[in-house]
Structures are given as structure tokens and as C-alpha cells.
Structure 1
């Protein structure tokens, strides 16, 4: 069984979903989330998920990326 949940309702996004949601490229998102102090990344083993609300806050506060 698969559920189709809109991206804006998901709490955690894959890199591809986050790129579609924010308009920021996958490579740039990967680069930004590689930092150990990154507050919007969630690691599940080697899988990287981005916390949507924290990512929104981060982008809102940034002048340039």
C-alpha cells in the first residue's frame, strides 16, 4: 500500500523532493547538509532526509546560498 502525500505536508523530504520543493539543486542541498552542525538533516543509517520546517527556516534566514 502506498500513500501519495503532497510534499508540503511531509515532515521529512528526500533530496529530490527538497530540490523540487525549494528550487535549490540537489548538489547544493547535499553540500549544505554534509556539515555536522546542520540542523535540518536527519540521518537514518546512510539515508539523508531533510526536515522540511527547519529547511524552510534556514532558507528564510539566509541572504544567499
Structure 2
């Protein structure tokens, strides 16, 4: 059985970090803030709403579904 060493894990992490935001399917709150220029506090309020359609819950982590988030921004006149 192959053991994955910490160096391999670091290299994989660096590769993931190099993917441009506009190519990612899901974004972290921080990435969504950089992507949309909407503040972290405002995004947290939006994704805390049970009717939010662009949030993906992964355990305690919340990710933003980029394409649905784009649609939300296109249709919003006020955030």
C-alpha cells in the first residue's frame, strides 16, 4: 500500500490553488468575496438564509456554487 507523504499533499494543494477562480465549480466564502467584491459579512448573511440557492453545505463548511451565484448577482438589484 502506498503512503502519501506530506510533500505530495503540499504539491497537490499548490496545484489546486493555481486553478483560476472562474474555472472552479464551487468557491469558498473568501474566494467568492474576491470574485464578487461582496464583503465576507454580507456573503455570510446571504448563505445563512435557508432559501439561499447557491450555497453547498459540506459538513460545517459552506461553499458557493459559482454559476448559481453568478445568476443571483445578475438578477439582483440590491444585496
Sort the TM-score into its range (normalised by shorter chain).
over 0.9
Q: Which has the higher contact order (CA 8 A, sep 6+)?
A: 1
Q: What TM-score do the two structures reach when normalised by structure 2?
A: 0.79
Alignment counterpart, residue 42 of structure 2, candidates 20, 28, 32: 28
Aligned length: 65
Q: Are 1:63 and 2:70 an aligned pair?
A: no
Structure 2 residue runs without a partner (length 5+) = 1-11
- Structure with a larger share of its residues in helix: 2
- Aligned position for 1:53: 67
Report which of the two structures shows the higher radius of gyration computed on alpha carbons.
2
Q: What TM-score do the two structures reach when normalised by structure 1?
A: 0.96
